[in-house]
A = this chain, B = another copy of it.
Amino acid sequence: MRYYPTPEAGLDLREVNRAVEEAFAEHGRGKVQMPPKVYINFEHGDFRTMPGYIPSLNTAGVKVVNVHPENPKSGLPTVMALTVLLSVENGIPEAILNATRLTDMRTGAAGAVAAKYLSPSDEITLGVVGSGRQAGAQVEAIAQELRIRKILVWSRKEQNSLAFCGKYSRFDCESVSLERVCDANVVVTTTPSRKPLIRDEWIHEGTHINAIGADAPGKEELDPGILSRGTVFVDDPAQAVHSGEINVPIREGSFTVESIRGTLGEVILGKAGRKGNEEITIFDSTGLAIQDLAIAGIAVKNGECINLKFP
């Protein structure tokens, strides 16, 4: 059994995107095993257990991930994750990975795959809402799939969006208003907002949106009018209804499960997709166990590790 303390180091992002794309395609074919996330609730947070198996990648295991919103007060991340990979052939735990950064990256990879298939163009201006870890992960992963001519970024604190521009200056990055971010061809939203930030009238025809931030009941970033006007794709319908961008609009009756056009897996398989240059497309990402397993399967190939005695 091996432990990988920094499995994100040196990962080939393009290879990660391909593994995550393969996982979603297999999900679209109905060939993965992925039971619903299981929640354990604490007074100050929770943890989720996410098991899965992707036969085509010969990869199986489980991610354990917490959410403790008060952690930053004591210097710890809100979200920390550990992934255990098991041998399909004999069930032995083969690898344990510190999966905190991998979780950001696999979410970035899902956004990149969605943008690859749903972007109105291969050469884009990328709008980024929020400037945290996930904002960066989206930029880096999408840059593997599309040519980013310019980035328009907004953050609640301008100093953060300016720092973001410094980090991503190679993309001609500009700190702008929230409305102006929406002038981009592809917009990614990465905030923990609990009320819509993006107004319907700001979104132009033909835009693709990766709605990343909403990952728990009560969270939403987009005016529900955007969902009605556009076409919604999800990673997994059950998870999206429970905790994705569509969770509040569905509860409030302004969106219905039947309105989901398809899953990202179905998009990859060509069973669903963008219809013309004027359509607004939205990818509602909640994060699937199979993404965690796909990236872990890549990370253990070359990552630095230490050997642990087992059994």
List residues of A whose CB falls within 8 A of some B CB: 3, 5-6, 33, 35, 38-47, 49, 51-53, 60-62, 64, 66-68, 71, 74, 76-77, 80, 82, 84, 86, 88-93, 96, 98, 100, 306, 308-311
A68–B311 alpha-carbon span in the complex (Å): 14
Given A84-B64, A100-B311, A308-B5, A53 contacting B40 (CB threshold 8 A): yes
Q: Are A40 and B44 in contact (CB under 8 A)?
A: no
Minimal beta-carbon separation of A36 from chain B (angstroms): 8
Q: Are B91 and A80 in contact (CB under 8 A)?
A: yes
A308–B92 alpha-carbon span in the complex (Å): 20
Q: Are A308 and B3 in contact (CB under 8 A)?
A: yes
Task: Name the residue in A33, A64, A311 with the highest tally of chain B Cβ atoms < 10 Å from its Cβ.
Answer: A311
A303–B49 alpha-carbon span in the complex (Å): 26
Given A33-B40, A35-B40, A86-B47, A311 contacting B91 (CB threshold 8 A): no
A93–B77 alpha-carbon span in the complex (Å): 12
A41–B42 alpha-carbon span in the complex (Å): 30
Q: Are B60 and A51 in contact (CB under 8 A)?
A: no
Minimal beta-carbon separation of A119 from chain B (angstroms): 33
Q: Are B64 and A92 in contact (CB under 8 A)?
A: no
List 30 contacting pairs A-B, 8 Å CB cutoff, sorted by A: A3-B3, A3-B308, A5-B308, A33-B41, A35-B38, A38-B51, A40-B51, A41-B53, A42-B60, A42-B88, A44-B89, A45-B91, A47-B86, A49-B51, A64-B84, A66-B92, A68-B89, A68-B90, A68-B91, A71-B90, A71-B91, A76-B92, A77-B311, A80-B91, A80-B92, A82-B84, A82-B93, A84-B84, A98-B310, A98-B311
Chain B neighbourhood of A309, CB < 8 A: 5-6, 98
Q: Are B90 and A76 in contact (CB under 8 A)?
A: yes
A10–B108 alpha-carbon span in the complex (Å): 46
* Nearest CB in chain B to that of A92: its residue: B80
A84–B61 alpha-carbon span in the complex (Å): 13
* Nearest CB in chain B to that of A93: its residue: B82
Task: Name the residue in A40, A64, A66 with the highest tally of chain B Cβ atoms < 10 Å from its Cβ.
Answer: A40
Chain B neighbourhood of A71, CB < 8 A: 90-91
* Nearest CB in chain B to that of A37: its residue: B38
* Nearest CB in chain B to that of A67: its residue: B91
Chain B neighbourhood of A44, CB < 8 A: 89-90
